[in-house]
Amino acid sequence: MQILLNILIIFSISIAVIYLCNRLKIPTIIGLLITGIVVGPYGLQIIKSTADVELLAEIGIITLLFTIGLELSFDEIASLKRAIVVGVLQVSITIVIVTGIMLIWTSFSKAIFFGFIVSLSSTAVVLKVIQELALSESPHGRMSLAVLIVQDIAIVPLMLFIPLLAGVSKNSIPVEMFKLVIKGALIVIVVIVLARYVVPKFLFEIAKTRSRELFVITIVTICLAVTSATYTMGMSIELGAFLAGIIIAASEYSGQTFSSMMPFRDLFTSFFFISIGMLLNPMVVANDIVTIANISLCIIIIKIMIITAIVLALGYPLRIAFLTGFALPQIGEFSFILAQIGLSYALLSQQEYQLFLSVTIIAMGITPYLIKYSPSLVDMLLRLPFPDTLLNGFSYSADEKAHALKDHIIIVGYGINGRNVATAAKSIKIPYIIVEMNPETVKKEKKEGENIIYGDASQEDLLHHVNISSARVLVIAIADRSAIKRTIVLARRINPHIHIIVRARFVGDMKELLELGANEVIPEEYETSIEIFARVLHYYGVPRSDIEAMIESIRAKGYAMLRKLHVDVYKDLPIAEIDMQAIRVCANSPVAGKTIGQMQFRKVHKFSVVAIKRNDSIITNPGADDVIQSDDILYVVGKREDILKAVKELRLSDNATSCQV
């Protein structure tokens, strides 16, 4: 009964704390840590024994790592490419630098361990903030998320190295390293065999029963089996949970597994962070607040510098490098796992553990504000006299053809919107140039002959290079709001007459972007809603002209009319049954050579011919004297069953591309 009472107390207090944190835009993880501090032995001492909570926290760690593994199939890992380089370099360089600094005060093994826990960033906090700020599709958002995935994978070898650092084995380091490599190779082989050949077939048989309960029990059993196997081999249960997730991720049942495990993950992971908070002594923070603040600041600065330098070295512009650095300077939730393992191996003292918890909580708490205001901070930094090579990125190279363009379109961003604009411009021979910040995309498209260059359009030098002063239209189709705003301001200042069209995520962005100088702002959410209601009205038989009139009315009034539209006037009309078909006149059809008046389509066959396509020309509203020729395509309107009946009787073809009836 005591455990139920403890859970009730924890949840009751966490509701109030997390609600307050959400109102203050503080991450939920911080709220859970604060809950632990409040209820724990160093707080109000509401819960004196942490044993029950630690058991639930252990389950939370297992479910957290299991679901992380579920999101990392072999194909996903292979697709990371350049981000793998950034992630591996970031973790490695951070470990080396922190180790070098810590050697001043501690032993080599402990110094490396400190490097381990500092090298990781918070997937939970960064992912939540990036999603809230709609940065997932921005260059630095994509890079940050990819690096976090690499860091999540990196926890596996880091956990394997901890016993080696602790010196718990009687063997020498080379022997232990050899054993570690053998274990790693064996694990990889077993995981590949299970993921490719065993588990998918087994889950297929389970799924055929259509029993949700059996499916969930099977998933939990697989997770526990792999976890137990790794523990038996002398490795951590956390590693086993992660590997179990990867094994299931290779099957087509990973999505269902993830959705089934999510409630368990969120619940038990909450206990993990609460248990961490219970271990934090607020008095330690109060007594060493200056030391903790200085350590936090040093870690944040060091990680920002490391990440910025790596991203910059890989050819990205300085702006993207800075923004990525500002997104990932905190210490991550997986560092808690490493710290607890290190505590059990005496790689951390209780005093050091308290300092670690304090620094981590401060760094996590700062992160949302750092990411939110980083564009403004970066804009201030970029006012310094940096070389053009850094501003535009090492991958940037001058293109004389771009500078020679006149009366052209500048397309910023080569996602689906940029591609469509480029395709349209190419089809009607309008000169254009694309500015893209993904080096791999630029390299690939250049090989295909696309007129594309690498660079940051929010930099004035690059806009001059693409000859914006002589351009007619600027299309901005990127996700980075700060870069969009800066590009608009620069473009309008350089070329006051250029027509600027901007794709925005939300309607709320329209006013600000228009005030900055954009001529047209197209919000994705409203364009999507317009397309949806247009298709709904079309399905109900509303004339296309009326639908287009509604769409024009909405756009003309800045989308203010959407809530007022209704289709009540059309609901009683029988036109919902009417269909339009394109039918081809075959050579052996009795229709060929006859006039529309002679055929009496409307009277005899109950449909009307509204247009005739002959070769490359269209005859609209054909009259009674218009002669129908072989191979003409007739556009007819009527009930589908009447049209199909006439097609059969008159030896026409309802396949507009051929005459095979």
DSSP 386-452: --HHHHH-TT----HHHHT--S-EEEE--SHHHHHHHHHHHHTT--EEEEES-HHHHHHHHHTT--E
Over the Cα atoms of the chain, what is R_g? 32
Which is it for the CA torsion 119, 125, 129, 130, positive or negative?
Answer: positive
Distance of CA 615 to the CA centre of its chain: 47
The pair of structure tokens assigned to 45 is 């001492």
pLDDT computed for residue 99 by the predictor: 92
* Residue 572 CB burial class (10 angstroms; 0-12, 13-18, ≥19): exposed
Cα–Cα nearest to 437, from 392, 469, 502 = 392
Helices 82-102 & 139-166, crossing angle to 10 degrees?
50
Cα–Cα nearest to 36, from 279, 355, 316 = 279
Residues 6+ apart with CB under 8 A from 308: 318, 321, 322, 324, 325
The pair of structure tokens assigned to 406 is 């006149």
| β pairing state of 633-639 and 607-614 | antiparallel
Cα–Cα nearest to 156, from 236, 75, 93 = 236
Name all domains of the chain by residue range, CATH numbers in brackets.
Answer: 2-380 (1.20.1530.20), 399-518 (3.40.50.720), 526-570 (no CATH), 574-653 (3.30.70.1450)
pLDDT computed for residue 570 by the predictor: 47
Query: What DSSP state is assigned to residue 332?
Result: P
Q: Which residues in the chain land under pLDDT 50?
A: 561-570, 576, 661
pLDDT computed for residue 74 by the predictor: 64
The residues pairing with 95 across neighbouring beta strands, listed in sequence order, are none
- 68 near 152, Cβ under 8 Å? yes
Residues 6+ apart with CB under 8 A from 58: 237, 272
| 106-135 b/e (C-beta count within 10 Å ≥ 16 → b) | beebbbbbbbbbbbbbbbbbbebbbeeebb
The pair of structure tokens assigned to 560 is 């203010």
